[in-house]
Amino acid sequence: MKTDKLIVLATLLLAALYWFATEQIREPLIGDPIGPKAIPRLLTIGLLIAAGLLWLETLAGRKTRAPGTPADNPSPARQPFFILAMVGSTLGYFFLFSWLGYALATALYLYALMAIFNPGKTRANVLTAAGFSLGSYLAFTRLFGAQIPAGLLPF
Amino acid sequence: METFNHIINGFGVALMPINLWYTFVGVLIGTIVGILPGIGPSASIALLIPITYGMDPASGLIMMAGVYYGTKYGGSTTAILIRTPGEAASVMTSIDGYEMARNGRAGAALAISAIGSFIAGTLGVVALTLFAVPLSSTALKFGPAEYFTLMLFALTAVASLSGKSPAKGLLSTILGLMIATIGIDLQSGQQRFTAGVAEFQDGIGFIVVVVGMFALAEVFRGLEKIHSGTSDPAMRITGKLWITREEWRRSKGPIWRGSIMGFLIGILPGAGGTIASLLSYSTEKRLSKNPEEFGKGAIEGVAGPEAANNSDTAGAMVPLLTLGVPGGGATAVMMGAFIMHGIQPGPLLFQNRPDLVWGLIDSMYIGNVMLLILNLPLIGLFVRLLYIPSGILYPLIIAISVLGTFAINGSMVELYLVLFFGVLGYIFDKVEIPIPPLVLSLVLAGIMEQSFRQALTLSDGNPVVFVSSGISATLVFMAAVSLALPFLIPRLKQVTPEQD
C-alpha cells in the first residue's frame, strides 16, 4: 500500500512536469486546427484520472484488509543494491563499448557476469564469453553488414 | 473464389525453400524460448527484429510468427518438468502437468501437450483463414472516428485485464502513449518533448522500449533470482513419450473445447492465452466426473489449457491482420515488426499484399506440423536446454539485446535508453504495473493520434463525431464498460455478499 501511495505521488509529479512541457510546445501558425498540444493535454488528464483511481484502490484495499494484516504488495526495494550494481556494471560496459570495441568489451562484461552468477566454472565461462563475443561480432559485421565498433581489434 | 486463389498462392509463398527454412528457424527458436524459463515471446520477437531487417518482409514475418506460436508449444515443457511455466499462458498446465510428472507420467503429459497444441494450433489457423476476409471487408468501411474508437476500446480492454489493478493498467497505457508523443509531430512539424536531444526527434524507437522492458528487465529479474538463490531443479522425463488409449479418450473433449475457447478469447483484446487456459481448466474441472483428480495429475487439466493457449495465438492474429489492432504484448511487438518492415497491418493488407498475408497464414499450417515433430520425437533433446546454467544464459541475452539495438542505428543514446527501459521494466514488475499495456499503446499511439486528429478536422472540431456512427458509439460504450467493470464488480460483490 505504501508503494501504491508512492506511485500516486510519482504520477501526480509526472503529470505536472508533462503539463509544463506540453505548454512549451510551439503551436503552428497555420494548417493544423487541432494542434500538437491536444493529445498531450488529454494524456495529462488521463494521468490524473489514473492517479485518482489508484488512490481509490489504495483506500478500498485499506478498508477490506483486516487490522494488522500486511499489505500484499511486494517491497520494491527488496534488493536495491542488486539493480544498482547491474546498472553500474552495464554503464561501464557501454563506456568500454566505444573505447575497446564491441567484441573485447562484451567478452569482459560477459565474463564478469558469468564469474558472479555461474561461479566455479572458469573454463566454460571464459570460452562462452570469448566465443560468443567474437562469433556475434563476425556474424553481424560479415553476414548482416552492420557497423559495430571494432575498437582495438584489427578486423 | 478470389480468396481461394489467394490461399493457394499463399501456400506457394509459404512452401518456397527460403520461407520453409525461416518457418523452421522461427518455430525452433520459439520452442527453445518457450522451454527456457523467463524469456517470453515478446522479448524474443523484439530481439529478432534487428536480425530480420535485411530479409524479405514475408520471410522475416513468417519467422517471427513462428517464434510467437512456437513458444506456446515449448512453454508447457518447463511447466510439466519443473513447475515453472516457460511463458505465462502455461501456468495452468503446470498444476496437473507437474503432478503427472511426479506420478511417473511426464512422457504422457508432454505428449498430450504436443498433440493438443497441434490440433488446437491447426484448428485455430483454419478459423483464422475463414474469419480473416469477412472481418477485413467490414473494417474497410471504418473511417478515422471508427478507427480511433476501436483502438480506444483495445487499449481500455488491455488496461483493465492486465495485472491485478486496472488503475495500474491504465497508468501503463497512458505512459506508453506519452512515450509515443516524444519527437517531431508529423502533422504540425513541431518538436514535442525532445529536450534538445537530436536522437529524440524521430521519437523513441519501438525496439529500444521493447528490448529494454521485456528482454533486459526479464534478465535483471532472472539474475536477481540466481543472486537470491531461488532456482528449481528439473525433473527427468519418465515413462513412455506417448499416451494410452484411455488417456486419449479423456483428452479429446478438452482439446476440442479448449481449441474453440482459446480462439474466441484470442480475438478479444487483452484476454490472451493466460485467461483462455484458466477458463479451459475451470470448464474441464466443472465438466469432469472426477473433479477431485484435478491438481493431482488429471490429464484433462493439461490437454484443455494447452489447446486453449495454442489456438489463442491464431485468434490473436485475427484483429492484428484484419484490423491492424493487436490485442496483447506479443502481437503488439509483432505489429511493431510489421511497421518496421514498412507494412501496415489492417484491412488494406489483404488487398495490397495478399501474397504476404496469405503466405504468413499458410506458413502457420506448416509451422504447426514442424512443431509437432520438434515437440514429440525430439523433445528429449530440447529438455537438455533446461540444464544450461542461467548464469551463462542471462548475460548472453544482455549482449544480444545490446548488439541487436546498436546494429539498427549505431546509436549509443539508444543503448542508454535500452538500459533505462530495462530498469523501468524491472521496477514495473516490482510494483506490479503491467508492461503489455505500455507496449500496446506505444505501437498504436501514432495511428491513434492521426485518426483522432483526422476525425476532428473532418468534423470541424466537433467531438460528437466519435459517437455519431453506430460502430463508433458501440465501441465507445464498450471502452467505457471495459474500464468501469473492474471497479464496479468488487463493489457489487460487497453489496450482495450472500450471493458469493
Summarize pLDDT for B342-351 with one digit per residue, the tens.
898 888 888 8
Domain region containing A22 = 2-64
pLDDT tens-place string over residues B98-146:
888 888 888 888 889 999 999 999 999 999 998 888 888 887 788 889 9
pLDDT at A99 over 90: no
Domain count, chain A: 2
The predicted pLDDT at position B271 comes to 64
Within a domain: residue A151? no
pLDDT at A34: 79
Task: Compute the C-alpha angle B84/B217/B159, nearest 5°.
Answer: 85
ipTM: 0.89
Residues A6 and A48 in one domain: yes
Q: Note the pLDDT tens digit of each residue in B238-256.
A: 666 678 888 899 999 999 9
User: Which comes out higher in pLDDT, residue B160 or B114?
Assistant: B114
Q: Which residues of B touch A43 (CB under 8 A)?
A: 174, 177-178, 181
Cβ of A74 within 8 Å of Cβ of B188? The answer is: no
Mean pLDDT of B440-465: 87
Residue B22 has pLDDT above 70, yes or no: yes
Does the structure show a pLDDT above 60 at B402?
Answer: yes
A70-79, A119-128, B50-59, B137-146: which range is least confident on average? A70-79
At position A57, the amino acid (one-letter code) is: E
B407 closest CB neighbour out of A73, A119, A148: A148
Q: Which residues of B touch A82 (CB under 8 A)?
A: 223-224, 227
Backbone φ and ψ of B192, nearest 5°: -125, 125
The residues, any chain, with a CB within 8 Å of residue B195's CB and separated by 6 or more, are: none
Most confident of B1-5, B111-115, B479-483: B111-115
Domain count for chain B, please give it. Answer: 1
- Please state the rounded mean pLDDT for residues A25-29: 79
pLDDT at B235: 59
Contact status of B489 with chain A (Cβ, < 8 Å): no
The per-residue pLDDT for B240 is 67
Q: How far is CA B55 from CA B48, B62, B188, B428, in A?
A: 11, 11, 34, 34
A-chain residue closest to B453, CA distance: A34
Q: C-alpha grid cell for residue B24?
A: 523452421
Give the pLDDT score at B38.
62
Residues in chain B with CB shorter than 8 Å from the CB of A121 are 389
Nearest to B375 by CA among B21, B51, B16, B86: B86
The reply to whether B413 touches chain A by the CB within 8 Å rule is: no
pLDDT in tens, B365-379: 999 999 998 888 777
Chain A residues lying within 8 Å of B490, measured CB to CB: 60
Inform me whether the pLDDT recorded for B25 exceeds 50: yes
Whether A81 contacts chain B with CB within 8 A: no
Q: Smallest Cβ distance to A39: which of B189, B419, B452?
A: B452
Q: How confident is the model at residue A78 (pLDDT cuts 50, 70, 90)?
A: low
* B chain contacts of residue A47, beta-carbon cutoff 8 Å: 171, 174, 178
For residue B233, name the pLDDT band (cuts at 50, 70, 90). low
The residue from A11, A36, A64 where one domain ends is: A64
Q: Are residues A6 and A50 in the same domain?
A: yes
Chain A positions in Cβ-Cβ contact with residue B168 (cut-off 8 Å) = 7, 54
Q: Mean pLDDT, to the nearest integer, of B75-91?
A: 75
Whole domain around residue B177: which residue ranges? 2-499
Kindly state whether residue A133 falls inside one of the protein's structural domains: yes
Question: Given this model, what pLDDT does residue A72 score?
Answer: 47
Instruction: Name the burial class of residue B304, with classes exposed (0-12), middle (13-18) and buried (19+) by CB atoms within 10 angstroms of its CB.
Output: buried
- What is the C-alpha separation between A152 and A97, in angstroms, rounded? 11
pTM, full prediction: 0.81
Nearest beta carbon to residue A90 from set B51, B391, B419: B419
Q: What is the pLDDT of residue B498?
A: 47
Taking an 8 Å cut-off on Cβ atoms, the answer to whether B170 and A53 are in contact is yes
Do the beta carbons of residue B312 and residue B328 sit within 8 Å? no
Taking the Cβ of residue B226 and every Cβ of chain A, the question of whether any pair is shorter than 8 Å is answered with: yes
Question: Do residues A39 and A84 both lie within one domain?
Answer: no
Q: What is residue A18's predicted lDDT score, i.e. its pLDDT?
A: 95
> Residue B234 pLDDT > 60, yes or no?
no
Please report whether residue A93 resides in a domain. yes
pLDDT at B301: 92
Q: Coil, strand or helix: which one is B183?
A: strand
Phi-psi region of B405 (alpha: psi -120 to 50; beta: other; left: phi over 0): alpha
pLDDT of residue A76: 47
Q: Using CB atoms, which residue from A34, A43, A60 is nearest to B174?
A: A43
Within 8 A by CB and 6+ apart from B298, the residues are B96, B284, B288, B290
Per-residue model confidence as pLDDT tens digits over B255-309 = 999 999 999 888 877 667 778 888 899 899 888 888 888 988 899 999 999 999 8
Q: For the residues B411-415, what does the mean pLDDT come to?
A: 91
* Residues of chain B numbered 175-214 and touching chain A (CB < 8 Å): 177-178, 181, 185, 187-193
A9, part of any domain: yes
* CB-closest option in A47, A76, A132 to B399: A132
- A90 in contact with B at a CB cutoff of 8 Å? yes
In this prediction, residue B230 carries a pLDDT of: 61
Q: Name the B residues in 376-405 with CB < 8 Å from any A CB.
A: 389-392, 394-396, 398-400, 402-403
**Quick one: cell of A131?**
566465443
- pLDDT more than 90, % of chain B: 29
pLDDT digits 0-9 by tens, B318-369: 888 988 888 777 888 898 889 888 898 888 888 888 899 999 999 999 999 9
* A125 shares contact with chain B (CB less than 8 Å): yes
Q: What is the pLDDT of residue B499?
A: 44
With CA atoms as reference, the chain B residue closest to A76 would be B430
Q: What pLDDT score was predicted for residue B450?
A: 87
Whether A25 sits inside 8 A of B402 (CB atoms) is no
Do B188 and A28 lie within an 8 Å CB cutoff?
A: yes
Q: Give pLDDT tens digits for B376-392.
A: 877 777 777 777 788 89
Read off the C-alpha cell for B448: 491513434
Query: What is the overall mean pLDDT for chain A?
Result: 85
